[in-house]
Structure 1
Amino acid sequence: MEFRGDHKLNIDAKGRIAIPKKYRDYLQEEHDSVLYVSYDTGNECLNIYPKQQWLKFEAKMMSLPNTNPTIRKMQRLLIGRVNEQTLDAQGRINVGPQHIERMQFGKEVILVGQGRRFELWDKANWDHDGDESLNEAELQELGELLPDFSF
């Protein structure tokens, strides 16, 4: 199953969000209801991975040479601060107080499907980010990175 679209959610007083119902059965059957909440290195959001996707990502991250200080720092940020959660009976996970505080999330957040993972954004940041489009330099870079891709 691929995760697509964006979903407006609220963070409750205990720091929980409800994963949309259409994904819950899949997450329960294929990923033992386990999700991993981790930081994103380039955006003001969190990444939420289903168990099997996280295990692949983590293995790839840990295969990198940790003799490089930048790689070690990235491993500490992404793996050392990951928050493992299991869906509760109402389909909720706890985002984690340290994650909420660091991202400065308000009550309203947006859960964005990104294929095999989700991104979790503060609604105001998502709305602002959504107002921006790719500039000419970014489009040029994409053209070089993806020469056979067309819109």
Structure 2
Amino acid sequence: MSELLGEYSRKLDAKGRLSLPAEFRKVLSENLRVTPDPTDQCLLVFETEAFSAWVESLFEAQGGYSASNRKMVAQRKVLNSRAKPCEVDNSGRIHLSPQQRDSASLDKDVVIVGDTDHFEIWDEERWSQFVEDTDVASLVS
């Protein structure tokens, strides 16, 4: 997969459809996975393989997934249950269910944010606040 980068302002239509940036449509497969991020700030959108890798990476930070660890089993179950398959239609749009939109407080004005191996869908105001609160300059100082 190519890198997904950039920030794109979009509008959700009344049916919950969202037009993907042309740059993303060129490199993404038609079959995606949409899941709320663990803090319910936004929606995360992955290609199938990248979603599986993301779930595994969460457990790697805890020493790797263990089927004998009840907490990990429950966490993985919740992560997988919240993810839904999503297809890109012929017009380059994805459909977000009412539950998905509610989980990330998405109404009409949204921002699509590329994050290398996946992209995120944010409420426009929430994204602006996130950017304002993030000190990128501290990376180089």
Shorter-chain TM-score bucket reads: 0.7 to 0.9
Match of 1:146 in 2: none
2:113 alignment partner, SS class: strand
Partner AA of 1:54 in structure 2: F
- Structure possessing the higher radius of gyration over alpha carbons: 1
Amino acid at match of 2:79: L
Show structure 2 runs of 5+ residues with no match: none
Q: Percent identity?
A: 25
Q: Distance in 2 between matches of 1:88 and 1:35?
A: 11
Matched, 1:76 2:73: no
2:3 maps to 2
Q: How has the CA–CA distance of structure 1 residues 128 and 10 changed in structure 2, closer, same or farther, with 3 Å as cutoff?
A: same
Matched, 1:123 2:136: no
- The residue that corresponds to 1:35 in the other structure is 32
Amino acid at match of 1:2: E
| Residue pair 2:34, 2:44 contacting (<8 A) in 1 also | yes
User: Match for residue 25 of structure 2?
Assistant: 24
Cα root mean square deviation, aligned:
2.4
Matched residue type, 1:38 = T
Scaled by the length of structure 2, the TM-score of the pair is: 0.81
Superposition map of 1:54-69 within 5 A: 54-58=51-55, 64-69=65-70
The aligned amino acid for 1:47 is: L
Confirm or deny: 8 A CA contact 1:83 1:95 kept in the other structure.
Answer: no
| Equivalent pair of 2:36/2:103 in contact (CA under 8 Å) | no
Structure 1 unaligned residues grouped into runs of 5+? 140-149
1:122–1:55 distance in 2 versus 1, CA, 3 Å: same
Question: Structure 2: which amino acid aligns with 1:9?
Answer: R
Give the CA deviation at 1:59.
5.8
How many residues align? The count is 134
- Determine which structure has greater relative contact order: mean sequence separation of CA pairs < 8 Å that are 6+ residues apart, divided by chain length: 2
2:75 partner amino acid: M
Q: Does 1:53 align with 2:54?
A: no
Deviation at 1:102, TM superposition (A): 1.8
Q: Give the conservation status (yes or no) of the 8 Å contact 1:61–1:75.
A: no
